Amino acid sequence: MMIRPRRLRRTPAIRRMVKETSISVDDLIYPVFVKHGKGEREPIPSMVGHHRLSVDELVKEVAEVWSLGIPAVILFGLPKKKDELGSEAYAGDGIVQQALGAIKERVPKLTIITDVCLCEYTDHGHCGIIEDGRVDNDATLEILSRIALSHAKAGADFVAPSDMMDGRVKAIRDTLERDGFKDTGILAYAVKYASSFYGPFREAADCAPQFGDRAGYQMDPANAREALKEALIDVEEGADIIMIKPALPYLDIIHQVRANINLPIAAYNVSGEYAMVKAADQRGWIAGEKVMMEMLISIKRAGADLILTYFAKEVAAVLIEHESIYAEKG
């Protein structure tokens, strides 16, 4: 007797029946960028289809996101003015705080996650407070806690510290609990590598460091065991969701964290991964939509429950189209 695995690949319907991994619109989180102004939709050259949006335009964008069934966005802010402390990041009338109020009024059921970091807001572009030419970890914790609290007060459902300072999840959790925001979640950038895949994001958020690099606080791409250590620390300190960033070069890390941690696992399909697909698709080198879906399936297969991706709206549209096709054939 010959063993014939191909029997289970014979027709599209059979392949659907035995599919091991699927993408759902419920898995998606859409990153958005908000800036000061009115009627602003400023294209981001390295991220085709994405814009820096004023609050009024952002509200329209997230309403569309919600209409596609995507349950959440993550919000990044571009300040009017930068300074050494990143003071607009925690100002009551900061750009993210304004956006939170507007979104909650227009799309109240949408889950809003806010990035908690200083790199977009500081004139030096680093993720923390600079002392003697380096990032001072402990001095930064107080500022990060102030940012998180200001976001919670403005309506954030989750705050997402992306700075990679030691102890920041505990500092933020303690602050939120003390000030009465016990229901505000923390999505921790627990395993964030010092990656070369962030280039388009740094253009979008205008947050490239003005001196040195971030290798002193973000993780070394060569390290895997350290990733689990970082993730377990954030779990112990009170994180509700653990994230790995980037996704594609670190599928092994996603798998390792999934095998050892019972919290929901998120993975960030970052700007460089998005830009590469878009550039190759524009040149006719790949079938962009198929590559997009294959990439996201690989992230889910590795163990991610949630995927932050600039493809989210496109993926949702593909899923809706497929569902309608099956409904018509049914």
Asked whether 125 and 66 are in contact (CB, 8 A), the reply is no
Q: Which token pair is 288?
A: 């962009």
300 is catalytic: no
**Assigned token pair, 297:** 């399936």
Cross-strand bridge partners of residue 177: none
Query: Are 259 and 228 in contact, with CB atoms under 8 Å apart?
Result: no
Q: CA 197 to CA 211: how far, in whole Å?
A: 19
Alpha carbon distance, N-terminus to C-terminus of the chain: 36
Q: For residue 79, give every residue at least 6 positions away whose Cβ sits within 8 Å of its Cβ, in sequence order, or none.
A: 36, 86, 88, 89, 94, 95, 120, 121
Residue 153 annotated among the catalytic residues of the structure = no
Cis? peptide before 246, omega within 30° of 0: yes
With a CB cutoff of 8 Å and minimum separation 6, the contacts of 233 are: 169, 190
Q: Which of 35, 82, 170, 245 is catalytic?
A: 245
Residue closest to 110 by CA, chosen among 41, 158, 166, 46: 158
Residue 76: name the closest of 184, 230, 201, 193 by CA: 201
Q: Give the C-alpha separation, 226 to 257, whole Å.
A: 11
Select which of 192, 278, 300, 313 is catalytic. 192
User: Which tokens go with 238?
Assistant: 């009170």
**Active-site residue numbers?**
192, 245
